[in-house]
Structure 1
Amino acid sequence: MSNISNNNQHKVIVINGDHFFDLPGFYEEISQLLMKNTDWKVGTLDGFNDILYGGYGVIENKEEVQIIWKNASKSEKDLGIDTTREFYENKIKQGKPFNVEFIQQKLDELLSGNGQTLFDILIEIIQSHPNITLTIE
């Protein structure tokens, strides 16, 4: 079964949490789904947000899109606190061009139980696009 289909109203894109277990794997899955027939691959949170605006890849500008995230509970664990902590710690180690103080604040929020995990951030990015409907399964 294809992970992208069209029904009469909108395009349907299926993300399968069984296809990846970390953020680079998520980017690879998204690149395969959304960037077909292009030379560009998603590799950052900003890049993921950018392709959801459409205009390149499989999403046309502002078209109605439904994203179904299958096995999302697995993704929520895979992209949870431990993975997010490692993500922030790696950015802090790299330093510039990253805003280390801001990232440290995000890490502190995460560790205190008040911050977002990578899964939460990805969901928020998807939901910030009014033309995209997200279904979590």
Structure 2
Amino acid sequence: MINKQNKKMTVINGSHFSNLEGFYEEVSQLFMKDENWKVGTLDGFDDILYGVNSNITWKDSQKSKEDLGFDSTKEFYQNKIRIGKPFNIQLIQQKLDDLIDRNGQTLFEILVEIIESHQNIRLILK
């Protein structure tokens, strides 16, 4: 659907997923349906948004905020530390420490920041 500003309207439905992998599946279906690869990283998500000119409504964003909140973010960082290379363990440990100290971002906040960093995208949290 196209609105008055010639922007496509896209809906991320938070009720369709409850973890980061589910989010990647959701956005892959929305933005990559004609491609033969899927989003699987935060950088990959950022990459697919280049060239997107859209109003994105994130339905059930409060559910996503909880699902992709402190606990899942902590697990996300702990898994990267456990895997080790190629990840920068020192940097990830700092991000985990910041999160535990309540100074770091949750996955939800990171995803919102990625979306909002793209000038041609307007994000509406519902």
TM-score > 0.5 by shorter chain: yes
**Could you say what the CA RMSD is over the residues aligned between the two structures, in angstroms?**
0.8
Matches of 1:20 and 1:110, distance apart in 2? 23
Q: Among residues 110, 128, 132, which one is paired with 2:99 in the alignment?
A: 110
> What SS does the corresponding residue of 2:76 show, helix, strand or coil?
helix
Q: Which of 24, 35, 42 is 1:27 aligned to?
A: 24
Residue 40 of structure 1, CA deviation: 1.4
Residue matched to 1:6: 2
Q: How does 1:1-137 map to 2 (within 5 A)?
A: 5-8=1-4, 9-54=6-51, 59=52, 64-137=53-126
Alpha-carbon displacement from aligned partner over 1:35-92 (angstroms, at most 9, x marks no partner) = 01110100000000000003xxxx4xxxx31110000000000000000000000000
Is the partner of 2:93 in helix, strand or coil? helix
How much does 1:13 deviate? 0.6
**CA–CA separation in structure 2 for the residues paired with 1:48 and 1:21:** 17
Counterparts of 1:37 and 1:99, CA distance in 2: 33
Unaligned 5+ residue runs, structure 1?
none
CA distance in 1, matches of 2:91, 2:34: 36
Runs of 5+ unmatched residues, structure 2: none
Runs of 4 or more above 3 Å deviation = none
Q: Identity of counterpart residues, as a percentage?
A: 62
**SS of the residue aligned with 1:6?**
coil
Distance in 2 between residues matched to 1:114 and 1:18, nearest whole Å = 28
Higher RCO structure (Cα 8 Å, ≥6 apart): 2
Q: TM-score, normalised by structure 1?
A: 0.89
